[in-house]
Chains A and B, each alone.
Chain A
Amino acid sequence: MSKVVFKRPRYLRDAATHYCAGCTHGTAHRLVAEAIEHFNVGEKAVAVAPAGCSVMLYKYFDVDSIEAAHGRALAVGTGIKRARPDLFVFTYQGDGDLASIGLCETMHAANRGEGITVIYVNNAVYGMTGGQMAPTTLLGQRTTTTPAGRSVDNEGHPLRMAEMMATLDGVLYAERVALFDPKQIRRARKAIFHAFEIQIKYNGFGFVEVLSACPTNLRVTPQQSQKWVETEMCKVFPLGLFKDVTVDTPQKPMPEPEPGGNGAGQETCHAI
């Protein structure tokens, strides 16, 4: 008798991805898909895809999904969640999307404490557009728009989102994890699972920053890129838990679907 010890999670499609060799999006996708399966939310999940490398996540996740304009994933997520609070809504966003063009939406959705789970993939570079400087690009890091390296004088400092999220009263949970070795991947899995729980049990805002490797745009091998995340990125973006107030927060589970949802398909005419 053979025993299956490792298989594709139910909500990850059997598809070859468009991600580059050595990219850690695949690992992050798998962890999210494992969480969808573990918490049995696949039939009520809506994934919000950003503009960026993960814009085509609908090809990989076997759940309902919607494409957001660049930076607007958390506004779109807010719209879905407010319209249908019974749905499980998660955004999967990169650093350019979440921390640059979408910073306003990110801060306000977090501050309102929307019941949304945020998977924030930080690889210190704009991947899809060809390796330009990101808000999280390290000082001295060369990109196609910082050919001499990012400088304090011209571009300023890299932005630390997990720390910033932790300062907001609306955020129940903020943690930074990485994927550069199996130990980190296990920690990342635990963090993503907890961020799911924050929405399921507390109807709250959970934020996981995942440090990710982009060997293509770092112009190094996959192995070197993992090393770079471990030795260089982690110095600027320290791993760890920045906030978890679930101990002091009363549980407030996500509502059950109303018949017809919150106004969905309502045909009654409410006269005054």
Chain B
Amino acid sequence: MAEGAVQAGCRCYFGYPITPQNEVPEYLSKRLPEVGGTFLQAESEVASINMVYGAVAAGVRAMTSSSSPGISLMQEGISFLAGSQLPAVIVNVQRSGPGLGGIKTTQGDYLQSTRGGGHGDYRTIVLAPWTVQEMYDMPFLAFELAEKYRNPVMILPDAVLGQMMEGVVMTPPGPVITYEKNYIVDGAKGRPARNIRSMYLEGDDQELLNYVLREKYRKMEAEEPRFETHWTDDADTVIVAFGTAARISLSAAQRARESGLRVGLFRPITLWPFPADGLRAIAQRVKRILVVEMNLGQMVDDVRAALDPSVQVEFYGRPAGGIPSPRAILAHLQGKGTDKGEEWADKVGAAARHYIWWREGELKPRETSPVGIGEAGDE
């Protein structure tokens, strides 16, 4: 992916170490200087994203990468990029949470990524690779879309993809497409001075900006949804999954077909804009939809929102390092699926005594008078 970014014209990288994505900065620290670019290890993720904001404002293709907690820290900066309409590429190799969590894989950041993630009404385009090949290919598309719409684009693999070794053909998927940048701040020579900002205090300008952004997002929703399908033509059950969960689901679908079930796979490539139309077209022909995620149910909301309520939508997922196995998915396809949390009821119960002590009724409410009212309360 780092090499793909360089070949796609990325010339500035700013980032801060966090597992499981350190291979990206480590590679770029050597590679970017070779092409006359800049690699800088920033003092924090907050600084990283703001350095990206500065670099893209000066007209250069720039990116950062991080993993879930670091991406949380970047959210204000991503909101600034969206509000100032600047192109940038952000890679989130997801790790488990909430909080510090751990370095085990997850898809727990689906909602954060597809709903903007920071403050304000905005969206980022979210691309979800499922192979190392796609990790290499996606930066080309990501930088193109970022410049086309002047909007941040996020590439959202997970820890499994971040650490996977796999054969890759390092041939660019096509020409590198760039767009004219008539908005950058690179010195007001022979033109009036420009300003890049997201604060508009005059009259209704801030509201107007939001309608401008909405128009842009509508255009993205109309033109940019991407997905692929496997064995959906004759399927009566379709699994909807992205990234690593989609790979596992494809194995499950294969096993299901071997056992006589007609199962297909619908894989969203853009998580936002969500390929709702494509899914609807397929859902008309099938009896059942099974959404498989490595979380407790995030994309399933978008699937349900896209489909007629009469469509049967089921969900199977495991959070925070739990990886759905092909066998477990197959069991769900056969109507014999179990939920890991319920399967582990005893373990969860034991853990509950440790982590959530209210469950055992140990957290007793205590009633006291409101403090500090006194005479003021008589007024």
Contact = CB atoms under 8 A, between A and B. Distances in A.
A78 B194 CA distance: 19
A7 interface: no
Contact size range, A: 35 or more
A265 B182 CA distance: 11
Given A79-B58, A264-B186, 15 more contacts: A43-B188, A58-B193, A58-B195, A65-B195, A76-B54, A77-B54, A78-B47, A78-B54, A79-B14, A79-B51, A82-B55, A83-B56, A84-B59, A263-B9, A271-B172
B224 interface: no
A246 B187 CA distance: 27
A266 interface: yes
A79 B198 CA distance: 18
Given A83-B59, A270-B6, A46 B186 contact: yes
B189 to A, nearest CB: 4
Interface stretch (A67-75, A117-125, A151-159): A67-75
B123 to A, nearest CB: 19
Nearest to B8: A269
Interface in B163-182: 170, 172, 175-176, 178, 181
B141 to A, nearest CB: 14
A83 B55 CA distance: 5
Interface in A53-89: 55-56, 58, 61-69, 72, 75-84, 87-88
Interface in A252-272: 261-272
A82 B6 CA distance: 16
Contacts of B3: 272
Contact of B50 (A58, A68, A269): A68
Interface in A216-272: 261-272
Contacts of B35: 270
Nearest to B12: A83
Contacts of B51: 75-76, 78-79, 82
Interface stretch (B36-44, B101-109, B355-363): B36-44
Contacts of B187: 43-46, 63-64, 87-88
A82 B40 contact: yes
A84 B184 CA distance: 12
B27 to A, nearest CB: 12
A72 B77 contact: yes
Contacts of B186: 44, 46, 64, 84, 87, 261, 264
Interface string B318-343: 00000000000000000000000000
A168 interface: no
Nearest to B181: A265
B52 A79 contact: yes
B196 interface: yes
26 contacts: A43-B187, A44-B189, A45-B188, A46-B185, A46-B187, A55-B199, A58-B197, A64-B185, A64-B193, A64-B195, A66-B185, A69-B80, A72-B77, A75-B46, A76-B53, A76-B54, A77-B54, A78-B54, A79-B12, A79-B14, A79-B52, A82-B38, A83-B59, A263-B61, A264-B60, A271-B172
Interface of B is mostly: loop
Nearest to A75: B50
A108 B46 CA distance: 13
B68 to A, nearest CB: 21
B11 A83 contact: yes
A108 B41 CA distance: 11
B297 to A, nearest CB: 33
Given A80-B55, A84-B60, A105-B47, A263 B12 contact: yes
A128 to B, nearest CB: 11
A263 B50 contact: no
Contact of B58 (A58, A63, A84): A84
Most chain B CB neighbours (cut-off 10 Å) among A262, A269, A270: A270
Contact of B170 (A48, A265, A267, A272): A272
Nearest to A45: B187
Which of B3, B44, B189, B193 has the most CB atoms of chain A within a 10 A radius of its CB? B193
Contacts of A64: 185-188, 193-195
